Structure 1
Amino acid sequence: MAPSTTSGSTGPRSGEPGFADPRGQLRAAGLRATRPRLAVLRWLWSNPHSTADQVAGAVRHELGSVSTQAVYDVLNACTAAGLLRRIEPAGHPARFEGRIADNHHHLVCRGCGRTEDVDCVHGAAPCLAPSSTAGYVVDEAEVVFWGLCPECRSAHNEDRSHHHEEERA
């Protein structure tokens, strides 16, 4: 089963460009506005936290034949240009999102991989200050909260209940 890719927030945040003009954003980033790039940006704005395979399937559905490698190339180019953010929750495939203009964090379900945005609650970036910087200039903190989403928690409780009934029989 493919992990779901929902987000607690859709649409641009304050100061966030969104993808209202993906063609203009690509050009401003020095990238050509190709059909695959436009399709990737449109998909990710509506479907944040998608994996590369999910993006590839959606782009193929929209455009017809597009290679998986072409989609990976688009994701890499747009991430390098600062149009997308790549997140890599441990044990899960990389995910991509268009919410890049703030220092937010993520909630990830251990069961299905569903990922939600969590706003930074302690002010300006970085949200957390390390006890030692070892000479680094820190400009971002990445926090991933792990747990079970409501659907997986419900399924987990049903499985436990069923297991207890079998033990009594």
Structure 2
Amino acid sequence: MILNLRLAKSIMEQEEGMNHLWIQLLPLEFSTIEKAEVSIQLPNGLYRMSNLNGYEEGDTNGIFINLSQDNDILLELYTQTAVDFDEASVIVTLSFKDTENRWKKLSKVITIRFVADEEMGETLELDQQVIERVKELRNHATGEPDSNDLVVLQPRIYELRNNKYAYFEKMYRVE
């Protein structure tokens, strides 16, 4: 099993910053692993939303994944208040049972660099593949098409009716 970690942005804002972490789980050629759990250790001041894939999460924030169907997890990381460090390490641990029914753990570390808002434009690099994956999952979750097609809706046409309450409609109608 190979664990690959990628960030959408090379750097992150120290205060009210946001980034996406793409965890790719690449099975080896003859792997028979089906179920696994992924846990993420974040430094103080860095938080995460529920996974964007919609996988089940346990009480200890472990993410359960069926490797026979899925092979990646996407997380949104953020800071609420200003962090007082320039770099932080995020540890991702994959736990699974091997062919002999023994628990195995595989860990990988990715470093996130934090900068002030003013410095963001100077050295910011974007990983377009991560951004495209975020868009895919967001469009899939909302049921929206992947294109920017223009949708035209017909205006509503009101007809004046002639009944005993028609005078209310005439008095209170806003055109």
Same fold per superposition (TM over 0.5): no
What interval of TM-score do these two structures reach, taking the shorter chain for normalisation? under 0.3
Normalising by the residue count of structure 2, what TM-score does the alignment of the two structures yield? Answer: 0.23
Larger fraction in strand: 2
Larger fraction in helix: 1
Larger Rg belongs to: 2
Normalising by the residue count of structure 1, what TM-score does the alignment of the two structures yield? Answer: 0.23
